[in-house]
Each structure stands twice: as C-alpha cells, then as structure tokens.
Structure 1
Amino acid sequence: MTETSGSFYKNYSSIIWLLAGIITGSVLGLTLGTKVVAVLKPLGDIFINLLFMAVIPLVFFAIGSAVAGVDTSQKLGKLFVIMMLVFMGTALVAAVFTLLGVYIYPVHQEMGQAANNLPDLNTHPDIGTQLTQLVTVSDFYELLSRKSMLPLIIFSLLTGFAALRAGDSGKAFRQFLVSGNEVMKQLLLFVMKLAPIGLGAYFAYQISTVGPELFTTYARSLGLFYVLVVLYYLLFFTLYAYIAGGKNSVRLYWKNNLLPSVTAVGTCSSVATIPANLDAAAGMQIPAPVRNIVVPLGATLHKEGSAISSMIKIAVVFAMFNKPLTGIDTITLALGISVVVSMVEGGIPNGGYIGELLVMSVYHFPPEALPAVMIIGTLVDPGATLLNVTGDTVSAMLVAKFMKTKTSEAA
C-alpha cells in the first residue's frame, strides 16, 4: 500500500503541487485586495518569461532529433509516408470531433469583466500576408522569437531531414540534436518546478482583478474534454481497429490495451509508455517492422489527445477575448494548429505547453492568455496522455493494414 501510494505521488506530484499553487493563489486572489496581490504578479511574469525563453531551443531539438533519428537502414519509404498520413488523419478526425463538441456544448461563455480587461484582437492582415508570416520569416534571427513558432517548426523538420540525408558526415550533428533534446527536456522540467509558485501568483492576480467568472469556463471546458476523451477512446479506437482488421483486430486491441492505458494515466508520459505499448503491439499481432517504427515515433509525433485538448484551449481563449470561433479561415487555422500541436508536443509530463505557446503565437494572443491555457493543459494531461498513448498502437494497426504487411512478419 505504501509503495503504491509513493508511486502515485511520484507520478502525479507535479500536478498535485501545481493544483495546490493554483488553489492557494485563488484563495489569495479572492480574500486579499488587488493592490496586495499585485505584488505577487512579477513571480508569475518571471515564470512565463522563463517558459518563453526555453520553448525555442526545445522545439528545435525535439523535432530535429526525432526526424534525424529515423533508422534509414529500415528503408522507410512507403511506411514513413503512410505513417505520417495516418498520424495527421487521425489527429484531424480528433480535432473535427472536438470542434463539433464545442459547437454542441459551447464553452464560449460571457466573461464579463474578464473580456474588458483584455486587449482587442479583432484586427488581422489579409490572408496572403497571414499565410506568409505564418510559415516563413525573412531572416534567420527571427526564428528565435516565440512569435515565429510555426516557421521554427518547419525549419526544425528541414534540419532533421538534412541531418538524416547527410549520412556519416552528419553523424556528429545528429548526436548533437539528440543530446540537445535531452538537455532541453531537463531544462523544461526544471522550469516547471517553479510552476506552482509562478502560476499560483499569476492566478491570484487574475482572480483578484477578473473575478471567479473564470471558473465557469474552466469547469465547462474540462467537463466537455473528458466526455470527448471517453467517447473517442471507446468509439473511435474501436472503429480504427475494425478498419484495420475486422472483429479480430478489435478483440486483440482491447485485450492488450489495458496495460498501456493504465501506464499512460499513471505516468502522464507518452515516452514512458513506449515499452508497454511495444509489448501490447506484439500482442495485437502488429508486424515487427511496423510496430518497432510506428510506436516509438508515435510517442513523439502522434497525439490525438493533444489535438482534442488544443481545440478546447483555442475555444476557451477565444471565449476569453470574446472572439467568435467561426469563419472558414479561423476554423481551418484552428484545425491545422491542432494537427501540428499533436505532432510537436513533447512526449513528457507538461510537454503540452509547447502547443499552448503555439496557439498564442499563431493567433497573436498576448501573454495574459497563457495562464488560462496552461491551467487547462495541466488538468487535461491524464486524459490527453491516455489517448496519445493508446492511439499509437491502433495507428500501427492501420499502417500495417495500408502497407498490406503480412501477419507472419509479426514475430
């Protein structure tokens, strides 16, 4: 019993402490005066600035190392293309499913004074200029700004592919990318240790100035998220397994899916669940050449839970700023962001903050919006990780189906 309790605390300690900080900050915001709480605000600003400082190198090394680390001896070719199509397709389905959920059960609630305290964001350049600024920058140094997150992602992908194609000549650089990724993950974990104080201070200030109206949107959005997670987990994964191999595949999937599911919820980490997922994939009779590539890469590049949570966060921030989540361009961009976020978020606890910063960057929201999406990101982490992890094995099933790989290769 003691060992179980200790393991639970170890896996969830960051969430427990963060919730404690948020609750403490909320109490201070409700009970102390605005002038007193304003003294705490710099602590929140420092924490957010540290995140902004860390996110650029983190994204570069995470994406660059993932692409550069592909084993070319496996002759990916068709498998890699099909895998990426499956990853993006299932993430898009998850995002569309969530968007429909948002329209059926809106989180767009009036925020009252909250909206009045935030700047007006209704001015946009034309669509051509927006597209150009969204995917490119005119000079290299501009990649080092959080406002250029998507161009940085594209540059990181290209750098990873270039390092991969360089062969033996690029070996040292590929090792540099891998090493840099590990260092940046440790840096993020270090910064996140300050989250209970930083977010607690920021939330105290928000509550004291905006009021408890914020909780209405959080409660509705979290309720909607977990309903969508349960539905997606049970219905869509069953559907994908059926497409991959009929009733037998459905039976094999759910027979072997329990351990990865429990491990995902217990660790809140896609990366930590790779061993359990590989064992489950073998039990699902997914061919070895497929499962040994799709499952590990899926932990980094495929996260349907993150796609769902990203769409929820977008809806909440739009509600905060009284912006309508309508229009073909707005919806298309939201779906695109959700798919991109599902591929770039780190497969570690709290890795979702990369996606939140991407949402901020693309929609040009000011820093005031970041605490809201970070709080939601923390509270949805177990459910998102569950879908992120268990979606990798069923995606491997689909890849094997479309590759028409023989089951006899499963050994």
Structure 2
Amino acid sequence: MKSKVLNSLLFWIVVAILLGIVCSLFFPVWLARVFVTFNGLFSNFLGFFVPVLIFSLITPAIAGLGRGAGKWLGITAGIAYGSTVLSGLIAWALSSALYPTLLAGHTLATDVDDPEAGGLSAFFTVEMPAPFEVMAGLLLAFVVGLGMTAVKSNTMYSFFSELESVVMKVVTVFVIPLLPIFIFGTFLNLGMNDNLGSTMSAFGIVLVLAVVMTVVIVLLQYLVAGAIAGRNPFVALKNMLPAYFTALGTSSSAATIPVTYASTLKNKVDENVAGFVVPLCATIHLSGSMMKITLYALAIVYMGSLPIGAGQIAGFLLLLGIMMVAAPGVPGGAIMAAVGLLQANLGFDESMVSLMIAAYIVIDSFGTAANVTGDGAIAMIVNRFAAGSIEGHELKNKQLDDAPASATEGSTAV
C-alpha cells in the first residue's frame, strides 16, 4: 500500500537526517565526499528523469479529465486550480511579510565545494542531459493529452497509461528508496561546512508556520464556501473532521475518498455532486501541498539570497498548480513534481532540492489533510450551482468503485 510506503519513507528520512547530523561530527572528509559524489549523481538523474515523469503522468491525467463530465468538469477543475494557486499566493504574501523577521540572520550556503573553505566537493560528476526541458514536457503533455481527448484515441490512451505505470515503477523501486541516502548526504554536507545549525533552526520555524497555515487555508476555504452555499462554515468544517483526521493518519487523498464522500454528504451536498467532485479533486486540488512547497521554497530563496524576481515566483506558482496533477500515485508526489520547477525556475541546486524533499515529507500528512478537507468546500460551492445537473457518470462510478473499502486500505499517496 502506498500509505505504508510513505510512512516507511518518512521513518527513513528522519533516520537519514539524524544520521547525517551525527556523522558530520566525525566523518573524515574523504568518506563524506563519497556521499557528496552520490548526491551529485542522483541530482543529475533527477534532472534527467523529472521532465519524463511530468510528461508521462500529466498526459494521461489530462486525457482522463477530458473524458469527464462536460462543463462541470471544467468549472470544478477551474475552482480547484484557483484554490491551489490562491494558496500559493497567500504563502508568498506571508513569506514576504514574515521572513525578514523570522529568518533574520539565517543564511544558507549549499554550493561551497572547496574543502579548504569548509565545504565538500564530489570526486567526479556525470552529466545526464534531460531529453527535453521541464516546460517542453508540460506543454507536450497538454498538447498530446488534449489531442487524445479530441480524437478519442483509445490506443494512445492505453499506451500512456502503461507508460505511466513504467515511470511509477522507476519512482517506487529506484528513486524513493534512494531518497534517504540523498538526504543523508545533504545533512552530512551541511554539518561539515558549519551551516547546519542555522539551517535547522530556520527550517524548524518554517515547518511550524507551514503546519499552521495548512489549517488556516482550510478555514478560509470554508468561510468562502459557507458564504456561497449559505451554510454555517464552522458546522460544515466540523462535519469534515473525520476526513481531515483520516488523511492525517494515512497521508493519502485516495485512501480518504470514502470518508471525504461521506463527510461531504453531511453538509447536504447532492450525492451525485459529491460523487463527482470528491474523487476528481482528490487528484487535482492540492492547496495544502502548494502552501507547504511555497513556504519552503521562498525560505530557501530568502536564506540563500537567490536573485529571484516577482515574475519568476508568479510563474512558478502558476505552473506548479498544473504540474502537481502528476502528484497522485507518487509517495510525496507533489514535491517530486515540483523538483523540475525548483531547478529550472528558481535555480535550486541539489542540496536545496534535498532540503525541500526532506521538509515536505516530514509533515506530508498535514498537507494531504488540508487537500482533502478543502475538497469538501469545493463540493459545497459546486453543489450551490450544479445540484440536479450532475448525474451518475463514468468518472464518479469508476473512482468511487476503485476507492478503498476503508480509509486505511490501499492508497495513492499525495
């Protein structure tokens, strides 16, 4: 089960962080450089693989959405995308207001490669050029996905579904198992170049802020949904608490679908609307994940003094809202989908990416809980206008029938 994979990954990442800190106290430079060499190779592989992952996962996702429920699919997807991007904009505004105070005096220098200066260098590097750029992969995914929808190409849809399975296999049997070693090397490097204390204290602050803001963003969503649907937002949010805590325990949107569906019905949402919106938004609505990634990324931008302009950040948020469609099915998938953008748009190096992955997975369940609870708010909004207009259809039937029988069996980690 993917939820067990993610929980196991969380355990090993915590172990990797602790071991990296401890080993930085006594490792000889030559041995530490072995892990720095590994990190360089693994980072180059991610640079090669992530565009392929984005293309392979987003293409069938776009094609699948095109087989959905007509105009209400577009409206629901638009609301979900708007909610996700708005979450990122709130995180951006918050970081701009708070980081100059919260992170004052904290610096991040991960690119020191001179042992004489306290850093570590790799023994060798191997260039692994990507078959295409991240943006090219995203655009190609949209073109091919929409094209398959237009011509109703079942053959190509089957091909890309199998390609998705192949790419997922690479992620689960190769990339995910190596992440703890990657993160170990990062914290080992940070400890040996005397940058660990500042980084850990700063990221501790950002982690707490991220947890708080995932709760705040859910509250804001229900205030808006309650106003539109004409319902008490606090009662509605109370009805969704079983879904929130189930997601908190499973770290899985898909495993929580039955609970989210049942909780949504308590808010007097039409069962056809709930059956359509809940499984769809489990795939495309990631406001909690967006909040965490944006807060982490901008913390690194601030501490690393990266020359990133407002236009680059805005572009990053708009594209990330689309790319995270590739997240379902990948343990910690939102951050994996974000890797290409972090490197291409924000100029992150391998150590910065490793920090992002570690910080994201450590509190992954809070982002997932915010994602699925927000799905109930979107269902309330859609129900206000679409009740009686959406009838049983293949998207509802397929996704609810395929969902786990309980919230603790089988999952797709987000």
TM-score, normalised by the number of residues in structure 2: 0.80
What 5-or-longer segments of structure 1 have no aligned partner? 1-6, 120-141
Structure 1 residues 337 and 356, CA, compared in 2 at 3 Å: closer, same or farther?
same
The CA deviation string for residues 245-277 of structure 1, in whole angstroms up to 9 with x for no partner, is: 22257534532x233212211221223322332
Q: CA RMSD in A?
A: 3.1
Code of the residue aligned with 1:294 in structure 2: it is V
Code of the residue aligned with 1:384 in structure 2: it is G
From 370, 376, 384, give the equivalent of 2:367.
384
4+ residue runs of structure 1 moved beyond 6 angstroms?
Answer: 7-10, 407-411
- How far residue 217 of structure 1 moved from its aligned partner, in angstroms, is 2.2
What pairs with 1:214-233 in structure 2 (closer than 5 Å)? 214-233=199-218
- How far residue 200 of structure 1 moved from its aligned partner, in angstroms, is 0.8
Percent of residue pairs identical: 22
- How far residue 16 of structure 1 moved from its aligned partner, in angstroms, is 0.8
Task: Indicate whether 1:37 and 2:32 are aligned.
Answer: yes
Residue 133 (structure 1) aligns with: none
Tell me which moved more, 270-279 or 22-31. 270-279
Distance 1:49 1:335 in 2: 24
Tell me which moved more, 332-341 or 290-299. 332-341
Distance 2:313 2:49 in 1: 29
- How far residue 25 of structure 1 moved from its aligned partner, in angstroms, is 1.1
Structure 1 residues 196 and 143, CA, compared in 2 at 3 Å: closer, same or farther?
closer
1:310–1:356 contact (8 Å) kept in structure 2: no
1:203–1:371 contact (8 Å) kept in structure 2: no
What pairs with 1:259-338 in structure 2 (closer than 5 Å)? 259-323=242-306, 328-338=310-320
The CA deviation string for residues 103-136 of structure 1, in whole angstroms up to 9 with x for no partner, is: 33215444457277389xxxxxxxxxxxxxxxxx
Residue 60 (structure 2) aligns with: 65
2:270–2:387 contact (8 Å) kept in structure 1: yes
Distance 2:95 2:158 in 1: 43
Residue 143 (structure 2) aligns with: 158
Structure 1 residues 90 and 409, CA, compared in 2 at 3 Å: closer, same or farther?
same
From 57, 80, 88, give the equivalent of 1:87.
80
Structure 1 residues 408 and 253, CA, compared in 2 at 3 Å: closer, same or farther?
farther
Residue 50 (structure 2) aligns with: 55
Distance 1:329 1:192 in 2: 32
Distance 2:42 2:110 in 1: 24
- How far residue 295 of structure 1 moved from its aligned partner, in angstroms, is 2.2
Secondary structure in 1 matching 2:328 = coil
Distance 1:221 1:29 in 2: 23
Distance 2:374 2:92 in 1: 19
Structure 1 residues 273 and 184, CA, compared in 2 at 3 Å: closer, same or farther?
farther
Code of the residue aligned with 2:77 in structure 1: it is M
2:50–2:339 contact (8 Å) kept in structure 1: no
Distance 1:368 1:248 in 2: 46
2:52–2:137 contact (8 Å) kept in structure 1: no
Secondary structure in 2 matching 1:184 = helix
- How far residue 94 of structure 1 moved from its aligned partner, in angstroms, is 1.1
Structure 1 residues 118 and 10, CA, compared in 2 at 3 Å: closer, same or farther?
closer
TM-score, normalised by the number of residues in structure 1: 0.80
Code of the residue aligned with 1:333 in structure 2: it is G
- How far residue 102 of structure 1 moved from its aligned partner, in angstroms, is 1.2
Task: Indicate whether 1:207 and 2:191 are aligned.
Answer: yes
Code of the residue aligned with 1:279 in structure 2: it is A
Tell me which moved more, 224-233 or 50-59. 50-59
Code of the residue aligned with 1:241 in structure 2: it is A
1:40–1:201 contact (8 Å) kept in structure 2: yes
Residue 98 (structure 2) aligns with: 105
- How far residue 155 of structure 1 moved from its aligned partner, in angstroms, is 1.6
Distance 1:277 1:80 in 2: 19
Distance 2:3 2:65 in 1: 34
